[in-house]
Amino acid sequence: MLASGALATLDRRALLQAAILLVGGSLVGLPAEALAQAPAAARFFTAAQFATLAETTDTIIPRTDTPGAKDAGVPEALDALMTNWASGERKRQFRELIDDIDRRAFAAGKTSLAGLPAARRLELIRAYDAEKMGAGDPVYGKFKELVLTIYYLSEPGATKELRYELIPGKFEPWTEMAPDARAWAV
Please name which of 85, 76, 28, 32 lies closest in space to residue 54, comparing C-alpha atoms.
76
Query: Given this model, what pLDDT does residue 15 score?
Result: 56
Give the chain's residues under pLDDT 70. Answer: 1-42, 164-171, 184, 186
Query: Given this model, what pLDDT does residue 165 score?
Result: 64
What's this model's pTM, rounded to 2 decimal places?
A: 0.70
Buried/exposed 119-138: b ≥16 CB within 10 Å, e otherwise: eebeebbeebeeebeeeeee
- The answer to whether the beta carbons of residues 164 and 184 sit under 8 Å apart is yes
Query: Given this model, what pLDDT does residue 168 score?
Result: 64
Torsion of CA 88, 91, 97, 103, to 10 degrees: -100
**Separation of alpha carbons 161 and 68, rounded Å:** 9
Query: Given this model, what pLDDT does residue 146 score?
Result: 95
